[in-house]
């Protein structure tokens, strides 16, 4: 025992104990600083190239002058650590924003009833006064079919929801109704829902009732007609164009074999036409599941350049958009930009009873065909009308497309159809208050069990301490031996 006490009193052990105490103090400070930073919600340092874990300067700019309190309600997001941490970053850019976490739905019958939730469902609700906007899990990502990567939309969804609740002057979008081949209230349900969530005021327009295109119309959506416009409807739409109106044509007029001279006059104002017949692809890399009537195209326009992803659209039974010659377009004051076109070996089929998936003698010649275009028409030095056309209303619809024997997708969800169409309408309505922030993460997420997590923590924290302690002891012993 006496010998043991002498060892305790030895100089090298006292120094070793002091060093160990110092190490323990450093570890305690490290843990304490982390706890305090989490409590204070101090922003993390983001050294990733694309700033995956930071709020963009655009978001900070849009939200810096909020006038009303905003609550970001996170329901059952405890398993989504990234989402919870990301939402809390909004508290650091404005004292008007607060994050509220609800981790147990079993006792919240009110929320389960209001939002039709099960105990395990996840939801984000953005609230401002009496207004609110709901964000589902599927609103937080999209897919870039060119790179094969999932694209994160978290910042875009949350920021635009807050902006949408804050604005008072919402763009007015009217959808022409009454003579449509498909009922737009059903077929365009997803598009209308998304437009509403992005703070647009959407109404259906029956011109036989109103007698005009309303003065507050920021964008008029015209879909496939089953019968021609009457003279009143034609003239009122022409008046709308000549006062600088903006039109979105989502039309499958190519499958309607009926002469519509009044509708054609609208088309003629922009120097375009759509003839009867459906485009079939022959390049298997440009069709959906080897179905030639489902043509996959790249989609790009100058107004889409802020989208950090390669857009692809899938056109179902699309028609060929043809433009007049350059001389006629110049006479009309029209210029156009191609948004999407099919492959070089696609062809037009007018015999819809043909069962052949390959080109026959009665089909049209092969070639690239325009299926999406952005058109501007100069009315005067001060007035310009704009039109965006996609020659397949089905591609914007909620028509069910079988993907396998067990699954289907809505046509609007094929590739980036919804992204392209919503951004087209946003351009026409001059929605400069919203943002487009898409981030792709090349890294793989590695998950571990609870036991593996403990082992990893021991390796990270305990092993370095032991190595340092042994190093200190060895250094002291070597010094004594000198």
- Spatial separation of the C-alpha atoms in residues 365 and 363, rounded to whole Å: 7
What are the tens digits of pLDDT across the range 59-71?
A: 888 888 888 899 9
Please check whether residue 93 is in contact with residue 159, taking contact to mean a CB–CB distance below 8 angstroms.
Answer: no
Residue 24 confidence (pLDDT) = 74
In percent, the amount of the chain with pLDDT more than 90 equals 51
The model's confidence at residue 46, banded by pLDDT at 50, 70 and 90, is low
What is the phi/psi pair of residue 32, to 5°? -65, -45
Residue 445 confidence (pLDDT) = 45
Please check whether residue 199 is in contact with residue 228, taking contact to mean a CB–CB distance below 8 angstroms.
Answer: no
What are the tens digits of pLDDT across the range 365-390?
A: 999 999 999 999 999 999 999 999 99
The most confident of the ranges 45-49, 83-87, 129-133, 235-239 is 235-239
Please check whether residue 217 is in contact with residue 200, taking contact to mean a CB–CB distance below 8 angstroms.
Answer: no
Please check whether residue 66 is in contact with residue 96, taking contact to mean a CB–CB distance below 8 angstroms.
Answer: yes
Residue 318 confidence (pLDDT) = 97
Where is 458: in which H helix or E strand? none
Residue 443 confidence (pLDDT) = 45
Please check whether residue 397 is in contact with residue 188, taking contact to mean a CB–CB distance below 8 angstroms.
Answer: yes
CA atoms within 13 A on the CB side of 402: 5
Residue 8 confidence (pLDDT) = 47
What are the tens digits of pLDDT across the range 242-286?
A: 999 999 999 999 999 999 999 999 999 999 999 999 999 999 999
The most confident of the ranges 122-131, 226-235, 433-442 is 226-235
DSSP 447: -
| Domains recognised in the chain with CATH numbers | 2-44+445-481 (no CATH), 57-145 (3.40.30.10), 171-435 (3.40.50.880)
- Spatial separation of the C-alpha atoms in residues 371 and 462, rounded to whole Å: 63
How long is the chain? Answer: 482
Tally of CB atoms within 10 A around 182: 18
Average pLDDT, the chain: 85
Please check whether residue 137 is in contact with residue 122, taking contact to mean a CB–CB distance below 8 angstroms.
Answer: yes
What are the tens digits of pLDDT across the range 200-222?
A: 999 999 998 889 999 999 999 99
């Amino acid at each position: 025992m006496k010998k043991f006490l002498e060892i305790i009193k030895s100089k090298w052990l006292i120094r070793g104990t002091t060093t160990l105490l110092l190490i323990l103090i450093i570890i305690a400070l490290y843990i304490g600083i982390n706890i305090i930073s989490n409590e204070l919600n101090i922003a993390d340092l983001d050294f990733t190239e694309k700033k995956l874990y930071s709020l963009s300067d655009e978001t900070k700019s849009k939200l810096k002058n909020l006038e009303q309190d905003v609550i970001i309600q996170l329901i059952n997001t405890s398993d989504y650590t990234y989402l919870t941490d990301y939402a809390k970053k909004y508290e650091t850019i404005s004292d008007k924003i607060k994050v509220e976490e609800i981790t147990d739905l079993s006792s919240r019958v009110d929320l389960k009833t209001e939002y039709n939730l099960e105990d395990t469902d996840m939801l984000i609700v953005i609230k401002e006064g009496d207004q609110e906007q709901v964000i589902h899990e599927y609103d937080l990502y999209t897919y870039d079919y060119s790179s094969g990567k999932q694209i994160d939309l978290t910042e875009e969804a949350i920021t635009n929801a807050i902006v949408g609740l804050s604005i008072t002057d919402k763009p007015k979008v009217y959808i022409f109704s009454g003579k449509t081949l498909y009922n737009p209230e059903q077929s365009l349900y997803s598009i209308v829902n998304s437009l509403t969530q992005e703070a647009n005021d959407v109404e259906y327009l029956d011109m036989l009732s109103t007698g005009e295109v309303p003065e507050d119309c920021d964008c008029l959506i015209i879909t496939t007609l089953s019968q021609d416009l009457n003279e009143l409807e034609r003239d009122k739409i022409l008046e709308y164009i000549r006062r600088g109106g903006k039109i979105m044509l989502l039309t499958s007029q190519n499958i309607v074999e009926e002469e519509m001279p009044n509708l054609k006059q609208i088309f003629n104002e922009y120097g375009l036409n759509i003839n009867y017949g459906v485009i079939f692809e022959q390049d298997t890399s440009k069709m959906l599941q080897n179905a030639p009537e489902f043509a996959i195209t790249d989609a790009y326009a100058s107004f889409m350049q802020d989208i950090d992803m390669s857009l692809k659209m899938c056109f179902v039974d699309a028609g060929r958009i043809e433009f007049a010659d350059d001389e006629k377009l110049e006479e009309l004051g029209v210029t156009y930009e191609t948004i999407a076109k099919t492959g070089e070996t696609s062809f037009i089929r007018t015999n819809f009873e043909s069962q052949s998936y390959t080109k026959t003698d009665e089909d049209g010649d092969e070639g690239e065909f325009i299926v999406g275009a952005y058109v501007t028409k100069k009315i005067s030095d001060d007035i310009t009308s704009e039109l965006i056309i996609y020659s397949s209303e089905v591609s914007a619809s909620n028509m069910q497309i079988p993907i396998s024997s067990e699954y289907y997708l809505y046509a609007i969800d094929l590739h980036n159809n919804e992204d392209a169409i919503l951004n087209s309408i946003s351009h026409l309505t001059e929605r400069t208050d919203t943002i487009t922030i898409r981030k792709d993460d090349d890294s793989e997420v590695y998950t571990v069990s609870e036991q593996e997590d403990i082992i990893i923590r021991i390796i990270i924290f305990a092993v370095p301490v032991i190595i340092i302690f042994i190093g200190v002891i060895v250094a002291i012993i070597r010094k004594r031996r000198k």
